[in-house]
Amino acid sequence: MNGEGTVIIRNVHVVTPEGVIEHGWVRLTNGLIDAIGREKDATRPPSGENAAAHTTKLADHAAAGPDASTVSGDDGSTVTIDGRRGWALPGFIDIHVHGGYGHDFMEADAAGLDAITRFHALHGTSVMLATTVTAPKADIDQVLNRVNRYRDAAMPYAQLLGVHLEGPFISAKWPGAQNPAHIVAPQPAWLEDWTRRFPGLIRMQTLAPESEGALPYIEALTREGIIAALGHTDATYEQVQLAVKHGLSHAVHTFNAMRGLHHREPGTVGAVMDNPAIMAEVIADGHHVHPAAIGLLAQLKGPDSLLLITDAISAAGLGNGDYRLGGLDVVVRDGVARLKEGDSLAGSTLTMIDAFRYAVQKAGISVEHASRMASGSPARRLGIDRTTGSLQPGKQADVLLLNAQLELERVWIQGRAIN
């Protein structure tokens, strides 16, 4: 289902791994990024064919005003878009998302998976992990079955790379919005069953590294090529450091639902900040983490070890109201999701474009670094950085066009325009 034909995005700041190309252009051809360049180096059109005619069309288009955003080549196969000094970015990769637009990965059928992936694609996400919540094994099995079947066919929107199991092997002291009734100690037999029936489907699992049996379980995850992540944990600084030696390498929604930083016991947060072997997530929505704390975390981890996520639930895109998450009642008011009982934050209604914009405009992170946190670093985390996660010739045409105010205007996934 790769996109056909050619799209040229010109007059944009192009964010690449080597830096930002000012006054640049990107050419997408048959689902791939075909070429990237600077306007001053391309006196003829990047497409290279029908140069004189195309240059005339571009000149006519430039004079036509802001409503004329696209033109076609003579054969109709090339579309040129004037980005008006906006930004071209790689598609976002969200490794921690529970649902959206009225659907939850714990319950979504094929139509529901289409609805979730379309909603998040329209907000810039090109790749995502279907994230579960703490639940009985039978319910988790159902999610794995449905996602596995969904991935057998071509996916028309954001690509479901696999599944992130958040729980159920977490701490009862830090359940957050996870249902404490289903928290259990790590179960090696469950992992053996899952990896036998669904090889390669589980990409990450969140657990409390201080729980009984966690260390050998982390080793088993690592042997299977599954990212071992800490979260919903009361682990001390020393317990986290020990877990890293056994293969732990990731922290979910840093600061939230974990033992905090204290000057005499740095806790889970201190270990995450201190250990370069741990890649960290953060929810940049203005509710979960103060922008100064996001900025501090970004300084300590750097854009190559910090990932933006949404942690979005089914309420994302729908506004205020009553919802459910993992069998628990959730109330959304003014965009903030909280458990009806206990008032704990319950995921978010965030989208990746909003997280990206918040990181830049509120946390003081540069566009280039925020892009790496939203795309390049999660791609590397998932081992897909050879094919996506950055704007480079030969990679998938997972491309976003933002205006100068960092508002999302257009999305391409594998060269297909998403609408």
User: Annotated binding residues for Zn(2+), as ranges?
Assistant: 166, 232, 253
Which residue, among 295, 239, 298, has the nearest Cα to 266 in the 3D structure? 239
**Whether 94 contacts 354, CB under 8 Å:** no
Coil, strand, or helix at residue 94? Answer: strand
Give yes or no: 311 in active site. Answer: yes
- The per-residue DSSP string of 307-362 comes to EEE--B-TTTTT-SEEEEETTEEEEEETTEEEETTT--B-SB---HHHHHHHHHHT
- The per-residue DSSP string of 224-291 comes to TTPEEEE-SB---HHHHHHHHHTT--EESSTTTTB----SS--HHHHHHHH-TT-EEEEE-SSSSS-H
The residue annotated as part of the active site, out of 311, 354, 385, 398, is: 311
For the chain, the residue count is: 419
Q: How far apart are CA 409 and CA 387, in angstroms?
A: 23
Q: Are strands 408-413 and 416-417 parallel, antiparallel or unpaired?
A: antiparallel
Q: Tokens 């050879």 map to which residue? A: 386
From edge to edge, which strands make up the β-sheet containing 279-283? 92-97, 125-131, 159-166, 202-207, 227-230, 250-251, 279-283, 306-309
Residues 6+ positions from 148 with CB-CB distance below 8 Å: 198, 201
Tell me the binding residues for substrate. Answer: 177, 256-257, 264, 288, 345-347
DSSP 39: G
Tell me the binding residues. Answer: 166, 177, 232, 253, 256-257, 264, 288, 345-347
Element (H, E) at 386: none
- Distance, C-alpha 139 to centroid of its chain: 24
Q: State the catalytic residues.
A: 311
